[in-house]
Amino acid sequence: MALPARLPAHQGLPPLTIPSLDEIRANAIAGLVVGIIALPLSIALAVAIGVPPIAGLYTAIFAGGAASIFGGSRYNITGPTAALVPILSHAVLRYGPKALPMAGLMAGGILVIMSVLRFGRLIRYMPGLVVVGFTAGIALSIGFGQVNNFLAVSGTDPGLEHFHQKTWDTISHIGTVGLATPLLGLASLGILLVWPRTPRLGRIPAPLIAVVAITGVAWGFGIGTPTIASRYGSLPREVPAPSLGFFDAGLAWDLLPIAFSIAVLGAVESLLSAVVADGMAPTSTRHDPDRELRGQGIANLVSPLMGGTPATAAIARTAAGIRNGGTSRLTGVFHAITVLSATLLFGGLAGHIPLATLAAILLVVAWNIAEAPEVVRLLRRAPREDILVLVSTVLITLFVDLTWAIGFGVFASAILLLRRLVGLPAAQELLPDENGRIQQVSPELSELIQSRPDIAFFTAQGLLSFHSAAAFEYELLGQGRNPLILRMKDVHHVDSSGLITLEGIIEHRQHSGGRIILTAIQPEVYPVLERYGIIALLGPENVFEHTRDAIRSIDAPHGHEAHPQQPLTVHPFGAAAGGQ
138-177 per-position pLDDT tens digit = 888 888 888 999 999 998 887 777 788 888 999 999 999 9
> How high is the pLDDT of residue 110?
97
Which domain, by its residues, includes 224? 27-414
Question: Average pLDDT of the chain?
Answer: 84
Per-residue pLDDT band at 469 (split at 50, 70, 90): low
Domain boundary among 414, 448, 467: 414
- pLDDT top residue among 415 and 76: 76
> How high is the pLDDT of residue 183?
95
Instruction: Tell me, yes or no, whether 287 and 314 share the same domain.
Output: yes
* Highest mean pLDDT (candidates 9-18, 457-466, 534-543): 534-543
Instruction: Tell me, yes or no, whether 375 and 520 share the same domain.
Output: no
How many beta carbons lie within 10 A of that of residue 87, not counting itself? 25
- pLDDT top residue among 141 and 567: 141
Q: How far is CA 143 from CA 88, 147, 349, 370, 486, in A?
A: 16, 7, 26, 10, 58
Q: Is residue 405 part of a domain?
A: yes
Asked whether the beta carbons of 399 and 162 are under 8 A apart, the reply is yes
Instruction: Tell me, yes or no, whether 410 and 433 share the same domain.
Output: no
Task: Say whether 91 sits in a helix, a strand or coil.
Answer: helix
Over residues 84-89, the mean pLDDT reads 90
Residue 264, pLDDT above cutoff 50: yes
> How high is the pLDDT of residue 20?
84
Residue 13, pLDDT above cutoff 80: no
Identify the weakest region by mean pLDDT among 47-51, 221-225, 272-276, 282-286: 282-286
Q: Is residue 394 part of a domain?
A: yes
> How high is the pLDDT of residue 15?
53
Question: How do the residues of the chain divide into helix, strand and coil, expressed in percent and rounded to 5?
Answer: 60, 5, 30
Q: Is residue 422 part of a domain?
A: no
484-494 vs 516-519, strand pairing mode: parallel
Burial of residue 252 (number of CB atoms within 10 Å: 0-12, 13-18, 19+): middle
> How high is the pLDDT of residue 562?
45
Instruction: Tell me, yes or no, whether 446 and 395 share the same domain.
Output: no
CB proximity list for 73: less than 8 A, separation 6 or greater: 270, 273, 274, 277, 278, 287, 288, 292, 295, 313, 329
Instruction: Tell me, yes or no, whether 361 and 441 share the same domain.
Output: no
> How high is the pLDDT of residue 423?
62
CA distance 350 to 199: 28
* Highest mean pLDDT (candidates 64-68, 86-90, 364-368): 64-68
Residue type, 38: A
Instruction: Tell me, yes or no, whether 358 and 497 share the same domain.
Output: no
Instruction: Tell me, yes or no, whether 394 and 528 share the same domain.
Output: no
Number of domains in the chain: 2
Instruction: Tell me, yes or no, whether 341 and 462 share the same domain.
Output: no
Q: Is residue 88 part of a domain?
A: yes
Over residues 375-390, the mean pLDDT reads 87
Instruction: Tell me, yes or no, whether 478 and 388 share the same domain.
Output: no
Per-residue pLDDT band at 454 (split at 50, 70, 90): confident
> How high is the pLDDT of residue 451?
84
Over residues 203-223, the mean pLDDT reads 89
Residue 133, pLDDT above cutoff 90: no
- pLDDT top residue among 497 and 575: 497
DSSP bridge partners of 18: 5
Per-residue pLDDT band at 474 (split at 50, 70, 90): low
> How high is the pLDDT of residue 12?
43
Per-residue pLDDT band at 2 (split at 50, 70, 90): very low
CA distance 390 to 129: 6
Instruction: Tell me, yes or no, whether 410 and 517 share the same domain.
Output: no
Find the CATH number of the domain harbouring 505.
3.30.750.24
Task: Give pTM, 2 decimals.
Answer: 0.73
Q: Is residue 313 part of a domain?
A: yes
Domain boundary among 385, 414, 443: 414
486-521 per-position pLDDT tens digit = 888 888 888 888 888 888 888 887 887 778 889 989
Q: Is residue 560 part of a domain?
A: no
Per-residue pLDDT band at 551 (split at 50, 70, 90): confident
Over residues 475-489, the mean pLDDT reads 74
Instruction: Tell me, yes or no, whether 331 and 455 share the same domain.
Output: no
- pLDDT top residue among 433 and 56: 56
Q: Is residue 570 part of a domain?
A: no
Instruction: Tell me, yes or no, whether 483 and 348 share the same domain.
Output: no
Q: Is residue 420 part of a domain?
A: no
320-353 per-position pLDDT tens digit = 889 888 889 999 999 999 999 999 988 888 889 9
Domain boundary among 367, 382, 414: 414
Residue 572, pLDDT above cutoff 90: no
Residue 425, pLDDT above cutoff 70: no
Identify the weakest region by mean pLDDT among 4-18, 153-167, 218-232, 317-331: 4-18
CA 83 to chain centre: 12
